[in-house]
Chains A and B, each alone.
Chain A
């Protein structure tokens, strides 16, 4: 081996010719490190490659999907316009057109005959116009001088200058000169007018015909212009959209809506949204594309969305603020489109190569979930308008009490959903509670109480402890039951009445109004009528197997006597009625449940649980020592208390000792913005999206423990509610709707406090279970004949007087408007505050005065006299009782309408005037007919009264009702002054 050292004494090795390396071709390379002819080759290859790639890039850029869609849309628009043009063409009256054309030709021929004369006149006009121009210019100059001098003169006058007189003379001179020019101008104007009239004798007819022809062709020509703009020809289009040239005025371009006030939240940075959806969704705001294929289809409900006059103009709201998705994307995949069904998913996968967009935190809401997009702005009140599914989801959350464990916006002040357990020992038996806890749905499938034990992660053998899940679950249930009973206060209820009839009781339950909030057994779906609100109160199935007859009697007689915190109002049942209802409810038994074996607990399982709990705060040795010192009863109560805390029973029930406990569930305030990477999908093969996770969780809350190795206290705790598919979807939609996107103040739902507070109270008291309010509700209607329906509260604020409504809701027994009905408005024991909230709410909805109004009526004797006759002619009393007595013989009570005797203290006088014009308009389906089907501005069919004037007749009827029938006040006639 030779040394590398230059001064090592050895000669450097000389390359032998045999080892000559061709690349080192020194002769050709000279003193350069590269070889020119090789470089030529490399340059040639690389420039060729560059060229190929550039061409490829341009081609790729020019065949992007959105360009393809724009071309396709252009074709559709052209076809549409062509169709319109054809229609416009066929709308032209051809005969008339030909006739005009002929006349035009004749006129033209006439013009040719008189050509010489016409030309003479035209020359004359030209000369005159030249003169006119010259004179007019002189006049204008002179006028300018005059104006300047006038100002100088005025100024001199005001300043009392010495040259006032001189200036005055000068001004008058100029004025004279100006007037002379003006006279000449006027003369020429008249001359031109005369000569033009002369010319019109020859050419005027033609102009008139031409105007008519233009008018006939107007629509067609307008469309033709549009067509030319849409389709200027292949050459022009391809030049406009050619590479490089397309920087000038391309017809294919990215459309975008800039939304400086709405932000897209990137990590650590808010970026204003730029919605490019309209790049492909080109027909979105054009009604002509209603039946076009996607992406060109018109947006539905344009009166509500998109249009400038709608509540959500696209310039202000854009698209992604409601739909979600990636605002700047211009292709199907990255925009974050989400399929609504598995079928659509498969279709998209085939058609667009669609796949879940893993890096997009805000995919679009699938169309069946679209209502989730409403909530971020419409979060001020209990309901979101036009979002039935979302509202159902929110109702379900209210009904099932999810907010007991999870913080969810909008439910901050809602009472716990479960019954108060501080007096449980007076109501239930221990054995019933044990069986109920083991499986509430076995007692009644409609039970709202979820199942905590025997779920997918605490049954079978997976993660089982030595004593096995069955025994362990039984021990937990037993411990909790014992704890609850040990803490319960005793409650002695008065002895109720016995011996009611179950049959009469059934009739009462079905007719007094229980079904507005309750159901018995499965709820039958009703067409076009929601039944969700009938889950507001407990399902009354199997009551006889649960509580004693005496408890039921006391409860239905006045629920607040038994539990002051209950939401259940009093239906003012008599003792006899209460006994009947009691007899019926006690007859509803679940014999299968009654004969079920009790879950059997054993000491080993209890020890296992107790030691686990003890271990949490100390060492295993200490825990076992403590355990050894405890009696079985101590163990049970200790474990019971800790388990109540672990499972969060206090989230729904009032339990002594847990008054100030904090909810145990995950906060869901921004559940719709939780990063997808933060969800634990476990070993499940489900869609990795927010809604996918929430749906799986709601279907089986313990499912994510599958395949996991955990200790009992580490297992997922959320109980199983056994939600149906629809319920799962609605609730998951609510969760995905809880996003943290910042919404500017001016874009939020501007519902006033009066309305939002009212809506919350209406939701809490389930008023919509019986009444239609703001167009929704009335669930009880599906269970009874229309004659028995509780009233539709449309225009309630405009209809009833504030004082009357206030007193009525506080104590409905004061006015029985339809005393013959068995359905009755219950007594809710509203506070003054709550009654006022209701009054304010309805008044605010209808935008009427509250609370001070006048009900005096200005009328005259003539009107009142006619009114009496009108009242008789229209036979109003056939349905509306005008006395307090019983209905006339033979008349079914159900057929009667409200008593008019209390009209003056109940109704607002102005409302009656609107009501009588067309009752159907205010309350669709009302049995009250209109007597003026032609409307208020056409003559009344009753020609003999008050000049057949509909408005006067309606006023007269109102005056009759308010003054003659019910003794209301008449406004005093205005006092006319006598001392002038």
Chain B
């Protein structure tokens, strides 16, 4: 009897010890198997596959407010170098009944795609105490270069809320600075605190489906087939949203409309 008991106990112990020491004994040499599927995150999106087009006109209803003249006497240099174009406010710019400087973009890009960041820098120039462009869009981490072409002090103040705020003084003509924006943010106001009238608005996106309305309020977006929420944003008149579905290589007409009356409310 005692012998059997000892045998049972010891076999339990052996088993348990084997369990406790389990693992580790596997063969770790040799090449690990290649994982199925390509690189993690999927392939980079090819813009050539964006065959669909959504285009239209950002209409402006009502009488556009007269463009305000900018008073630049605070800085003699600005007053001296102002041109007829730079000395009026670009806040509401209407041509052919269409509203310019409206950022039009896809709210959410199709899931699972990765997009290449363009290497070409976006350049903001400060010339004649005026930002050009006034409104622009870019992709996250796309190089953004700010130049001071004036012989006066400017400070480039990016009023970011999700990105890191930036405020750089450029005291000497010809100074250049690169600004890194690595998060989506629309709108992203850029202002000069020395010259209060100077402002610019950026849209920073994690995808390439965005543009700014040009002459006559016209815009055009190239999109892969799918259903999208298209957003139009204007610095004074705010945001409008519409849904659109594009199939194959069709061109969908999608108009937006802003009115002077709505802003007065």
Contact = CB atoms under 8 A, between A and B. Distances in A.
Contacts of B193: 879, 895, 927, 929
Interface string A864-904: 00000000011100110000000011111001000000000
A891 B156 CA distance: 19
B47 interface: no
B165 interface: yes
A930 B34 contact: no
A399 B24 CA distance: 64
Contacts of A590: none
Contact of A920 (B20, B34, B167): B167
B18 A878 contact: no
A931 B169 contact: yes
A236 interface: yes
B19 A895 contact: no
User: Which one of A244, A927, A942 has the highest number of Cβ atoms from chain B below 10 Å of its Cβ?
Assistant: A927
A941 interface: yes
A622 to B, nearest CB: 71
A875 B167 contact: no
A925 B171 contact: no
B74 A85 contact: no
B177 interface: yes
A649 interface: no
Contact of A933 (B34, B35, B73, B168): B168
A135 to B, nearest CB: 39
Interface string A410-444: 00000000000000000000000000000000000
B172 A239 contact: no
B26 interface: yes
B194 A878 contact: yes
A387 interface: no
Nearest to A86: B35
Contact of B28 (A225, A879, A924): A225
B31 A236 contact: no
B19 A239 contact: yes
B80 interface: no
Interface string B159-176: 100000111110110010
A17 interface: no
Contacts of A88: 32
A236 B34 contact: no
A979 interface: no
B71 interface: yes
Nearest to A918: B167
B216 to A, nearest CB: 35
Contacts of B157: 927, 929
B33 A89 contact: yes
Contacts of A51: none
Interface string B170-211: 011001010000000000000001101000000000000000
A224 interface: yes
B123 interface: no
A879 B165 contact: no
A248 B16 contact: yes
A933 B177 contact: yes
A233 interface: yes
B15 A239 contact: yes
A929 B24 contact: no
B20 A890 contact: no
Contacts of B12: 244-245
A362 B19 CA distance: 40
Contacts of A248: 16-17, 19-20
B34 A228 contact: no
Contact of B167 (A97, A233, A874, A928): A928
B74 A249 contact: no
A879 B167 CA distance: 15
Contacts of B28: 217, 221, 224-225
A90 interface: yes
A225 B172 CA distance: 60
A895 B167 contact: no
A126 interface: no
Contact of A929 (B16, B35, B155): B155
B260 interface: no
Contact of A245 (B15, B32, B175): B15
Interface in A83-111: 85-90, 92, 94, 97, 101
B156 A929 contact: yes
Contact of B73 (A86, A245, A890): A890
A931 B25 CA distance: 61
A233 B153 CA distance: 70
Given A89-B34, A94-B34, A232-B22, A941 B175 contact: yes
B39 interface: yes
A249 B167 CA distance: 60
A656 interface: no
B23 interface: yes
Contacts of A249: 16, 19-20
A220 interface: yes
A873 B172 contact: yes
A933 B168 CA distance: 6
A603 interface: no
A227 to B, nearest CB: 9
Nearest to B169: A929
Interface string A929-972: 11101000000011000000000000000000000000000000
Interface in A62-92: 85-90, 92
A691 B250 CA distance: 59
A229 interface: yes
Contacts of A221: 28
Given A85-B32, A90-B35, A236 B171 contact: no
B22 A240 contact: yes
Contacts of B71: 890
Contact of B153 (A92, A228, A874, A890): A874
Nearest to B15: A239
A928 B32 CA distance: 56
Given A874-B153, A931-B169, A942-B172, A892 B196 contact: yes
A926 B167 contact: yes
A712 interface: no
B32 A236 contact: no
Interface string A381-413: 000000000000000000000000000000000
B24 A895 contact: no
User: Which one of A240, A873, A891 has the highest number of Cβ atoms from chain B below 10 Å of its Cβ?
Assistant: A240
Contacts of A229: 23-24
B40 interface: yes
B44 to A, nearest CB: 16
A90 B34 contact: yes
Interface string B236-254: 0000000000000000000
Contacts of B26: 224, 228
B152 interface: yes
A873 B170 CA distance: 10
B62 to A, nearest CB: 28
A233 B39 contact: no
A561 B219 CA distance: 66
B238 to A, nearest CB: 15
B75 interface: yes
A930 B168 contact: yes
A88 B34 CA distance: 10
User: Which one of B16, B18, B33, B157 has the highest number of Cβ atoms from chain A below 10 Å of its Cβ?
Assistant: B16
Nearest to B35: A86
A890 B74 contact: yes
A89 B32 contact: yes
Contacts of A86: 35
Contact of B24 (A94, A228, A879): A228
Please name the 10 residue pairs, one residue from A and one from B, whose CB atoms are nearest each other, closest first: A890-B73, A929-B169, A86-B35, A929-B155, A249-B20, A236-B22, A927-B193, A232-B23, A875-B153, A232-B22
Given A94-B34, A237-B19, 7 more contacts: A88-B32, A236-B22, A237-B22, A925-B159, A928-B167, A929-B155, A931-B171
7 contacts: A87-B40, A92-B31, A217-B28, A228-B26, A248-B16, A248-B20, A931-B169
